[in-house]
Amino acid sequence: MMQHPDQTLLIKFASGNLADALGLAVACHLEICEDCRQQSAGFEALGGQLLDEIEPTPLPDERKYSLMARLDAASEKPSPDRPAKGGSTPRPLRRFVADDLDRIRWRGFGNSLYYPVPVTDGRHVARLIRLKAGTAVPRHRHRGLEVTQILQGAFHDCVGEYETGSFIVTDPALEHQPTATPDTDCICLAVTGASLIFTEGLLRLVNPFLR
């Protein structure tokens, strides 16, 4: 079963309101999902339509003169795109972690390893998680929103089976035990809401004084 981001997330992404860790998860999904790419492009076209029919606010003439004067200096300078091919790491993550998922210096021990993705947006915590083939994460529950984008392999839990490329939003009420399929390690990008974690940290600090 391939899971996808819902329309609200896609429209936020396409309109530029998801420039955060959650946006990275959507971008990783779009890289392999043509349906969602098409929807996102459709929402961009909605933006184009908005631009077309909006009430114009003219700029002062000086802005035009100064821009025209800058054109020569600004001649062809194709913006460098990071290569689409290369390692197995999805392109949206390559500025933050190694190009190849196998070259990541995983932390932790046992069947479930992790690597923090150093994105700071003040709202989320992003991690890569590597679950060894055929093994399970201990049964757990989430405190808030968690989004999981499967980058490699597949897993199943009590709700269903998720194939490579799935974008899964976990219900905080759900207690589950993801288990990787036996053939290959399952690697996911997991994005969780940060506020709860920070609040707890603060509470831990504050509590001694309250007593």
Partner 1 sequence: MIRRIANDRDREAFAMLYDEISGNLNGYARRLGLAKSDAEELVQETLLAIWRNAAAFNPDKAGVYTWAFTILRNKRIDRLRKDKLRTVSSDDLWQQFPAEKNRDEGDLNARFARNLIKDLPDEQRQILYNVYFEGKSHSVVAKERGMPLGSVKSSLRLAINRLKKLTQASKQ
In the complex, the residues that contact partner 1 under the rule CB under 8 A are 6-8, 11-13, 15-21, 23-24, 26-27, 34-35, 37-39, 41-52, 54-60, 63-64, 66-68, 70-71, 74-79, 81-82, 84, 91-93, 95-96, 118-121
Residue 96 Cβ vs partner 1, minimum distance, rounded to whole Å: 8
Residue 22 Cβ vs partner 1, minimum distance, rounded to whole Å: 9
Residue 72 Cβ vs partner 1, minimum distance, rounded to whole Å: 9
Strand bridging mode 124-131 / 186-193: antiparallel
The single residue listed with the structure tokens 């490329």 is 165
Nearer to partner 1, 166 or 179 (CB): 166
- In sequence order, what E strands does 101-185 have? 112-117, 124-131, 140-141, 146-152, 155-156, 161-162, 167-170, 175-176, 179-180
Alpha carbons 30 and 53: distance in angstroms, whole number? 28
Residue 88 Cβ vs partner 1, minimum distance, rounded to whole Å: 17
CA distances to 56, 99, 142, 188, 198 from 28, in Å:
35, 14, 22, 10, 26
Biggest distance spanned by C-alpha atoms of the chain: 68
Nearer to partner 1, 54 or 210 (CB): 54
Q: How far is CA 23 from the centre of its chain?
A: 5
Nearer to partner 1, 95 or 143 (CB): 95
Residue 198 Cβ vs partner 1, minimum distance, rounded to whole Å: 17
Nearer to partner 1, 41 or 203 (CB): 41
Nearer to partner 1, 78 or 182 (CB): 78
Residue 62 Cβ vs partner 1, minimum distance, rounded to whole Å: 10
- Phi first, then psi, for residue 119 (nearest 5°) are -105, 130
Nearer to partner 1, 118 or 138 (CB): 118
